Structure 1
Amino acid sequence: MNEHKPPVLCIVGPTATGKSDLGIALAKILNGEVLSADSMQVYRGMDVGTAKVPLHARQGVPHHLLDLVEPDVRFTVADWVTAADEVIAALHRRGKLPIVVGGTGLYIRAICEDLDFGAATEAPEARQRWVRYLEAHGAEALHAALAKVDPPTAQRLHPNDTRRVLRALEVYEAGGGRPLSASYDWRVKGGRYWTVQFGLTVDRPILYERVNRRVDAMMADGLASEVTRLWERGYSRSLPAMQAIGYKELLAWLDGECSLAEAVAAVKQNTRRFVKRQLSWFRRDPRVEWIELDPEGRVEDADLQRILSVGQRMLAGIQSACRE
């Protein structure tokens, strides 16, 4: 830990653990603002399915890194890092505490480490070829193709995570056979910020029930209508953004491949699988300070005070720097 670096507080963990609510509560107490670390919330028009906090529910707390691009625009982790660095610098200048909230592990790691994204170039022709391969042969075959050229990346990606599998194959071809697993230095060294990560978790059965209720709430809030609007605008499953959970399943329904009930069941199942991968990702980082929620999904008072103590120390450092 290097407290002489610019501080950033991170709230991480799997889907449906209440990270957004906690981020807002902390920001109100700590004179902070929230940065979304969610790879799907950068897309405009994808609100319900990505669980963006509605404006009226943000309680006056500014949220950054939302609605940056249209769903048919490529947006990489390197793009996100550039945008995040700009926001963090601006917040520090104003004496505000940046609170990064989200479950996209690579985004969080890019804040905690100085990762090198230079090798992750683009190869549009190769990507389209693999998209056609996916459409013709399915997710399992696509994942098997990745396993042949980049076993470490294939091992950490689920076959249903076709968006990232496609990206890994694209990086492999763009790099002349250099796999994605060789593109980043995964050692824990620390980066340009003083970061502290608090991870939210809860017993697996409770978490899965929260996931199921969350999907039901999304359907009640108009997820099917949202996906239909995107479909009518021509956004198909061939786009990386449309591979997001909740969108690809309902697009399959709109394409006549399944019933709506089957699509919703698939959303729940794929979200539960995604939660397992998120937990595996964050548990590999020994710096995450885990907080066990109570059965009602609340943060215990002692844990909240632990987070606030760190946040107050960070805020004091930021405001002291502003006065110099």
Structure 2
Amino acid sequence: MSIKKQPRLLVLVGPTAVGKTAYSLEIAKRWDAEIISGDSMQVYRGMDIGTAKIPVEERQGIPHHLIDICEPDHPFSVAEFQERCAALIEEITSRGKLPFIVGGTGLYVESVCYNYQFSETGSDDIYRAEMEAYAQTHGNEALHARLQAIDPIAAQRLHPNDRRRVIRALEVFHVTGQTFTEQQAGQQKRSPYELCLVGLTRPREQLYNRVEQRIDEMMSLGLVEEVERLVRAGVPKRAIAMQGLGYKEIIPYLEGEMTLEAAVTLLKRDTRHFAKRQLSWFRHMQDIQWVDVGGQANFYENLQAIHAIIAGKFQNDLEYNSNQSCNGGNGK
């Protein structure tokens, strides 16, 4: 009896501003892949600048999935991402293409790679409402401190302003007696796919400089106007989408609570901290092969190293020509 072959899945991860976009386009062209966004914020329509969404005209004809699929008031979840992603992987594979997840939302990506189970943990609406009220009265930092006391690893990975996920982590412990981290550790890290995971990294100072440059670019492209447009459209401040980086920092400026300069300084700080948490998450993931794209090698040389990793994993069926030329460029 023949054993059913696992579908192949290529994954590119790394912190914000490391350069995933530029590399992903070249990788997708080389390996006949379709890109699935692994970013929890790019699912929302009308949120383009703050999420660093790649414009359609820059996608070079490569299909991109899970971008602009819901309105900003929709509470998109990791379970929904996992379900949609699994269906897309099957669909892309059936077309003879390579499914290729690109993104920096660690839990979302990992949930697909290892088929995490989310349905067993119950909920407690009353407790959740109590935690919401506690945060309203005492602030997000105080709520986050409660999580820090019971689950410091989850607290390190979640920003205090990510109130929904902080409350969910507290709720998991309240309902099950197990921390979110303990539940994750109990997940069987066996993948339903033949995985090739590549991670991009840079020296910290260089990465932080790129973060600040990206935010300056977002401001020049009209980030304030984008947030203002969403507020005028009636998207609630407490919506999951509006808690994303670039949105929750600009809202206080629009409400007259701080200067624009202070808001931008806060955004840069929060984004640097976010990049650090992303790296921490991915460092705990197994099987990632890392490429430092911030060293002496140029874009083309880094790209060749990535191609070699993919070829080494998928070489049985995917032809690789190490002499094939690739387009150079600057990472986004």
TM-score normalized by structure 2? Answer: 0.86
Query: For residue 300 of structure 1, what is the aligned residue in structure 2?
Result: 302
Match of 1:118 in 2: 119
Structure 2 counterpart of 1:19, one-letter code: K
Cα distance in structure 2, aligned partners of 1:228 and 1:263: 14
The secondary structure found in structure 2 opposite 1:134 is helix
Q: Are the counterparts in 2 of residues 43 and 69 from structure 1 also a CA contact under 8 Å?
A: yes
2:50 aligned partner: 49
Give 2:286's aligned residue: 286
For the 8 Å contact 1:202–1:295, the answer to whether it is kept is yes
Change (3 A) 1:45 1:290: same
With normalisation by structure 1, the TM-score equals: 0.88
Which residue matches 2:99? Answer: 98
How far apart are the structure 1 equivalents of 2:304 and 2:49?
A: 32
1:197-276 equivalent positions in 2, closer than 5 A: 197-276=197-276
Deviations 1:151-187 (A, max 9, x none): 44234434344342133234445x3655433443456
| Whole-angstrom CA distance in 1 between matches of 2:45 and 2:129 | 23
How many angstroms does 1:274 deviate by? 0.4
Question: Aligned partners of 1:314 and 1:21: how far apart in 2?
Answer: 27
* Separation in structure 2 between the aligned mates of residue 172 and residue 241 of structure 1, nearest angstrom: 25
Q: How has the CA–CA distance of structure 1 residues 301 and 5 changed in structure 2, closer, same or farther, with 3 Å as cutoff?
A: same
Match of 2:318 in 1: 316
- Larger mean CA deviation between 235-244 and 25-34 belongs to 235-244
Question: Which letter maps to 1:98?
Answer: P
Taking a change above 3 Å as real, the CA distance of residues 120 and 234 of structure 1, as seen in their structure-2 partners, is farther
- Matching residue's letter, 1:304: I
Counterpart secondary structure, 2:315: helix
Q: Percent identity?
A: 43
Q: 1:90 to 1:301 in 2, by over 3 A?
A: closer
**1:313 shift after superposition:** 3.2
Secondary structure class of the residue paired with 2:79: helix
2: distance between equivalents of 1:163 and 1:244?
11
- Report the CA distance between 1:139 and its aligned residue: 2.0
Q: CA deviation at 1:288?
A: 0.9
Q: State the shift of 1:264 in Å.
A: 0.8
1:82 partnered with 2:83: yes
What code does the residue aligned with 2:198 have?
A: F
Distance in 1 separating the partners of 2:223 and 2:313 = 35
Aligned length in residues: 315
In structure 2, how many angstroms separate the alpha carbons of the residues matched to 1:310 and 1:49?
36
Cα offset, 1:301, TM superposition: 4.7
> CA separation in 2, counterparts of 1:278 and 1:263?
22
State the secondary structure of the residue aligned to 2:318.
helix
Distance 1:293 1:167 in 2: 35
Give the letter aligned to residue 139 of structure 1.
N
For structure 2, which runs of at least 5 residues remain unmatched after alignment? 320-332
- When residues 269 and 155 of structure 1 are mapped into structure 2, their CA distance, relative to the original with a 3 A threshold, is closer
SS at match of 1:200: strand
Q: Write out per-residue CA displacement over residues 59-101 of structure 1, whole angstroms, 9 at most, x where no aligned residue.
A: 1111001122212211111100100011110111100001100
1:199-235 CA distances to partner (integer Å, 9 max, x unpaired)? Answer: 0001111000000000011111111111001111222
Q: 1:117 deviation in Å? A: 0.6
**Partner of 1:68: helix, strand, or coil?**
coil
Aligned to 1:322: none
